[in-house]
């Protein structure tokens, strides 16, 4: 459990909140590049960290992420006209450039220079790896662009999707490091999902339903090692990475693409579940891409025209009781992502952690909260939180078989770091 | 059903009874940490030390008289474990954690969940840490390597100790 003040501290990410500041000190995924495909395309309303923003591209194709509302009388600029190198408010014609600078106030004589006094808040928006990243912190502290491996490989080797999750970011992220649920909730998919099945590791997974865990701090966050018995007294280790505050990476299976997530607050009651899949040395295969687009693996099918999952709380996630009974899916909800999301959303938008009863296997979650709280305290004294340093981002998950007396952090040291030109270490 | 408004109607009644958590220091440095912790207010956590037994009794030797509370009074290991819901073993990286095997054996005999906590990992080489880990690994169903001593307090609080 957490005390109420601690729960509030970790779940509130709006302007001026400590946790919000931690998110704002690093680059966050804001949109998919496909959402702003070309110059002068329609603008997109996007809320991030409880701030309503407008993402758009000007005539030259420059990206803009500005305050959603016109400085004049507060109209949403989503209704704006994307005109020559600027966005014009349709109400009284004020026009802004991609930095948010007002460049025209038609009612005032242009010689007065009044428009120069008007500027909308704006944030940088930069494309990398099919994602548009933003930095919402103090300009003088802007770190170098992120170097997560999935975003650095050639475009045909990685796939990214996002889905709306109707819960606070923290309970979503905690799902990403809750290794003890996999053998239950996702047991059906280990054998059936095209992006999971057929790995030797799955046999270990199913052969030993009671994994033993080792939680180890890493420079950027945590390694969570789950070990199961393998042949001849050796151990099968699955090591998940968590990098603060919101990056999680699932251990690989066989030659399947490796996947992971960012859990980025939209506001305190919703978040984006960003979901990536990539290979280092080969393009994704057509059948893999097809499966990802169809919402298999960690991706989802959408309500057409949106990033809201087709299975959502309004239709009870298309719960199938017969499938639950037959055991086709453990929970009755189809698809790995929605199995997680349905349960996390069911907790309520911000779960009341004063009521929970954690057990020993929840130490990954306990340690993650502990590290976040510690980093918040250090941040108050001016220490940069973990996860912003590029070295913290050059990490990998791994699946390895090791002799029983070896510490995975030592024995799999290289496997847990980006190895340029080499695939993940996997079983 | 899962709106913020609906969340208010979650029944506000206790949904668990406090668990008996026994925290055992395995070496002198851990003992100091555990002694400090014991000053705090806990529901049903109790604190012990096995640090006098860096070299654990040999196979076949008696369990009794092998554990002591923080005042130095001898306790019966089997009895203590029998009444525990969770046993937390606290070790310092680089120190002898041999006592883990005896406690662990008693726990598996009595089917009690075990957690091992290793502190001070940043003060020693990875190799040294690996040795301590290897002593605990067979006996801890959850192992945590923590860089900050406060972790153990946070963990116990999280577990409602
Ligand atoms: S069993 Fe874990 S939330 Fe119910
Ligand atoms: Fe899951």
Residue of A nearest to B145 (CA): A216
Note down pLDDT in tens along chain A; length 427 residues. 999 999 999 999 999 999 999 999 999 999 999 999 999 999 999 999 999 999 999 999 999 999 999 999 999 999 999 999 999 999 999 999 999 999 999 999 989 999 999 999 999 999 999 999 999 999 999 999 999 999 999 999 999 999 999 999 999 999 999 988 988 899 888 888 899 888 888 888 777 778 899 999 999 999 999 999 999 999 999 999 999 999 999 999 999 999 999 999 999 999 999 999 999 999 999 999 999 999 999 999 999 999 999 999 999 999 999 999 999 999 999 999 999 999 999 999 999 999 999 999 999 999 999 999 999 999 999 999 999 999 999 999 999 999 999 999 999 999 999 999 999 999 9
Looking at all shown ligands, the one closest to residue A357's CA atom is 1
Q: Is residue B6 assigned to a domain? A: no
Residue written as tokens 């603008």?
A: A43
Q: What distance in angstroms lies between residue A64's CA and the mean position of ligand 2's atoms?
A: 35
Does residue A406 sit at the B interface (CB-CB below 8 Å)? yes
pLDDT class of B53 with cuts at 50, 70, 90? low
Asked if B144 lies within 8 A of A212 by C-beta distance, the reply is no
Q: Is residue B112 assigned to a domain? A: yes
pLDDT of B58 = 57
Mutate to test the interface with B, among A4, A209, A214, A269 (most CBs of B within 10 A): A214
Of A75, A63, A169, A212, nearest to A126 (Cα)?
Answer: A63
Residues in chain A within 8 Å Cβ distance of B86: 359-360
- Cβ–Cβ contacts within 10 Å for residue B92, how many? 25
Q: What distance in angstroms lies between residue A71's CA and the mean position of ligand 1's atoms?
A: 48
Please tell me the distance from the alpha carbon of residue A226 to that of residue A400, in angstroms, as a whole number. Answer: 11
Please tell me the distance from the alpha carbon of residue A10 to that of residue B158, in angstroms, as a whole number. Answer: 15
Reported in sequence order, the residue ranges of A49-184 that DSSP labels E, i.e. its strands, are 51-57, 63-67, 81-83, 86-88, 95-96, 102-104, 122-123, 125-128, 131-135, 158-165
Partners of A69 in the beta sheet? A76
Residues 284-323 in A contacting B (C-alpha not used; CB under 8 Å): 313
Does residue B17 sit at the A interface (CB-CB below 8 Å)? no
Does residue B155 sit at the A interface (CB-CB below 8 Å)? yes
Q: Is residue B2 assigned to a domain? A: no
Residue of B nearest to A404 (CA): B134
pLDDT of A206 = 76
Q: Is residue B113 assigned to a domain? A: yes
Q: What distance in angstroms lies between residue A358's CA and the mean position of ligand 2's atoms?
A: 18
**Is residue A10 within 8 Å of A170, Cβ to Cβ?**
yes
Reported in sequence order, the residue ranges of A173-278 that DSSP labels E, i.e. its strands, are 212-217, 221-229, 235-243, 247-249, 258-267, 270-278
Please tell me the distance from the alpha carbon of residue B31 to that of residue A257, in angstroms, as a whole number. Answer: 47
Q: Is residue B77 assigned to a domain? A: yes
Report angle CA A25, A27, A30 to the nearest 5 degrees.
125
Residue B56 has pLDDT above 90, yes or no: no
DSSP single-letter state for residue A358? -
Residues in chain B within 8 Å Cβ distance of A369: 154, 158
Domain count, chain B: 1
DSSP single-letter state for residue B111? T
Does residue A222 sit at the B interface (CB-CB below 8 Å)? no
A395 φ/ψ sector (left φ>0, alpha ψ -120 to 50, else beta): beta
Of A217, A131, A214, A162, nearest to A392 (Cα)?
Answer: A217
Of A344, A44, A381, nearest to A167 (Cα)?
Answer: A344
- Characterize the bridge pairing of strands B113-119 and B142-145: parallel
A225 φ/ψ sector (left φ>0, alpha ψ -120 to 50, else beta): beta
Task: Please write down the long-range contacts of A67-71, taking CB distance under 8 Å and 24 or more positions apart.
Answer: A67/A100, A67/A120, A67/A121, A67/A122, A70/A94, A71/A102, A71/A118, A71/A119, A71/A120
Please tell me the distance from the alpha carbon of residue B38 to that of residue A287, in angstroms, as a whole number. Answer: 58
Three-state DSSP state, A382: coil
Of A284, A214, A277, A283, nearest to A249 (Cα)?
Answer: A277
Measure the CA dihedral A160/A161/A167/A172, to 10°: -30
**Is residue A168 within 8 Å of A62, Cβ to Cβ?**
no
Q: Compute the residue count for chain B.
A: 161
A/B interface, count of CB pairs below 8 Å: 109
Residue written as tokens 């999707």?
A: A161
Residue B76 burial (C-beta neighbours within 10 Å; 0-12, 13-18, 19+): middle
Partners of A184 in the beta sheet? none
Q: What distance in angstroms lies between residue A227's CA and the mean position of ligand 2's atoms?
A: 17
Q: Tell me the whole-structure pTM to 2 decimals.
A: 0.96
Q: Is residue B9 assigned to a domain? A: no
Q: What distance in angstroms lies between residue B92's CA and the mean position of ligand 2's atoms?
A: 33
Q: Is residue B12 assigned to a domain? A: no
Structure tokens at B37: 């912790």
Closest partner residue to B10 (CB to CB) among A2, A313, A352 is: A352
Report angle CA B128, B130, B133 to the nearest 5 degrees.
115
Residue written as tokens 């998940």?
A: A240
**Is residue B50 within 8 Å of B104, Cβ to Cβ?**
no
- What is the per-residue pLDDT across A105-129, written as a single tens digit (0 to 9) for each? 999 998 999 999 999 999 999 999 9
Asked if B15 lies within 8 A of A367 by C-beta distance, the reply is no
Asked if A214 lies within 8 A of B144 by C-beta distance, the reply is yes
- What is the per-residue pLDDT across A301-335, written as a single tens digit (0 to 9) for each? 999 999 999 999 999 999 999 999 999 999 999 99
Of A243, A205, A245, nearest to A224 (Cα)?
Answer: A243
**Is residue A339 within 8 Å of A300, Cβ to Cβ?**
no
Q: Is residue B48 assigned to a domain? A: yes
Asked if B155 lies within 8 A of A406 by C-beta distance, the reply is no
CATH value at residue B65 = 3.40.50.1440
CA distance B160 to chain A (A): 7
- Who contacts A259 (Cβ-Cβ below 8 Å, separation ≥6)? A195, A249, A250, A275, A276, A277, A278, A297, A298
Residues in chain B within 8 Å Cβ distance of A269: 4
Of A359, A19, A334, A308, nearest to A178 (Cα)?
Answer: A359
pLDDT of A182 = 87
Residue B138 structural domain: 18-158
Residue-wise burial string across A247-263, b where 16 or more C-beta atoms lie within 10 A, e elsewhere:
bbbbbbbeebbbbbbbb
Partners of B86 in the beta sheet? B21, B113
């Amino acid at each position: 459990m957490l005390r109420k003040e601690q729960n509030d501290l970790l779940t509130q990410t709006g302007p001026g909140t400590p946790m919000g500041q931690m998110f704002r000190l690093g680059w966050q995924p804001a949109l998919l590049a496909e959402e702003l495909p070309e110059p002068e395309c329609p603008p997109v309303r996007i809320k991030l960290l409880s701030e309503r923003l407008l993402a758009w591209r000007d005539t030259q194709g420059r990206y803009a992420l500005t305050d959603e509302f016109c400085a004049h009388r507060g109209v949403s600029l989503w209704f704006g006209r994307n005109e020559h190198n600027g966005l014009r408010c349709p109400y009284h014609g004020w026009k802004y450039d991609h930095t948010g600078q007002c460049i025209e106030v038609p009612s005032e004589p242009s010689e007065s220079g009044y428009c120069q006094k008007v500027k909308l808040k704006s944030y940088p928006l930069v494309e990398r790896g099919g994602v548009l990243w933003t930095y919402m912190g103090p300009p003088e502290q802007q770190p170098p662009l992120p170097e997560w491996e999935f975003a650095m490989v050639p475009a045909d080797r990685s796939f990214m999707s996002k889905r709306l999750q109707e819960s606070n970011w923290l309970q979503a992220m905690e799902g990403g490091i809750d290794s003890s649920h996999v053998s239950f909730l996702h047991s059906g998919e280990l054998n059936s999902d095209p992006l999971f099945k057929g790995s030797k590791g799955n046999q270990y997974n199913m052969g030993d339903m009671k994994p033993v865990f080792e939680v180890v701090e890493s420079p950027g966050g945590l390694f969570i090692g789950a070990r199961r018995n393998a042949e001849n007294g050796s151990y099968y280790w699955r090591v998940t990475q968590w990098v603060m505050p919101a990056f999680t990476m699932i251990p690989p299976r066989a030659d399947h693409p490796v996947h992971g997530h960012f859990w980025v607050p939209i506001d305190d009651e919703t978040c984006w579940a960003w979901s990536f899949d990539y290979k280092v040395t080969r393009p994704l295969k057509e059948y893999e891409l097809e499966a990802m687009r169809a919402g298999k693996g960690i991706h989802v099918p959408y309500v057409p025209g949106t990033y809201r999952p087709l299975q959502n709380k309004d239709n009870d996630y298309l719960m199938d009781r017969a499938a639950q009974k037959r055991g086709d899916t453990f929970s009755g909800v189809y698809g790995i992502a929605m199995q997680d999301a349905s349960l996390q959303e069911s907790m309520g938008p911000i779960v009341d952690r004063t009521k929970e009863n954690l057990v020993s296997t929840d130490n990954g979650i306990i340690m993650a909260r502990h590290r976040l709280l510690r980093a918040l305290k250090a941040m108050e004294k001016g220490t940069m939180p973990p996860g912003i340093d590029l070295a913290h981002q050059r990490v990998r998950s791994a699946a390895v078989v090791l002799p029983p007396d070896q510490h995975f952090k030592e024995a799999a040291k290289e496997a847990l770091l980006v190895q340029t030109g080499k695939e993940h270490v996997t079983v | 059903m899962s709106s913020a408004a609906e969340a208010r109607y979650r029944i506000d009644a206790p949904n668990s009874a406090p668990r008996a958590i026994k925290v055992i220091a395995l070496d002198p440095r851990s003992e100091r940490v555990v002694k400090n912790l014991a000053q705090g207010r806990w529901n049903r956590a109790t604190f012990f030390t096995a640090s006098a037994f860096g070299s654990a009794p040999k196979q076949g030797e008696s369990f009794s008289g092998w554990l002591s509370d923080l005042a130095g009074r001898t306790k019966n290991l089997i009895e203590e474990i029998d009444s525990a819901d969770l046993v937390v073993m606290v070790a310092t990286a680089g120190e002898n954690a041999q006592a883990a095997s005896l406690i662990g054996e008693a726990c598996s005999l009595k089917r009690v969940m075990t957690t091992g906590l290793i502190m001070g990992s940043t003060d020693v080489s990875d190799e040294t840490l690996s040795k301590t880990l290897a002593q605990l690994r067979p006996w801890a169903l959850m192992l945590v390597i923590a860089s900050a001593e406060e972790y153990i307090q946070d963990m116990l609080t999280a577990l409602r100790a």
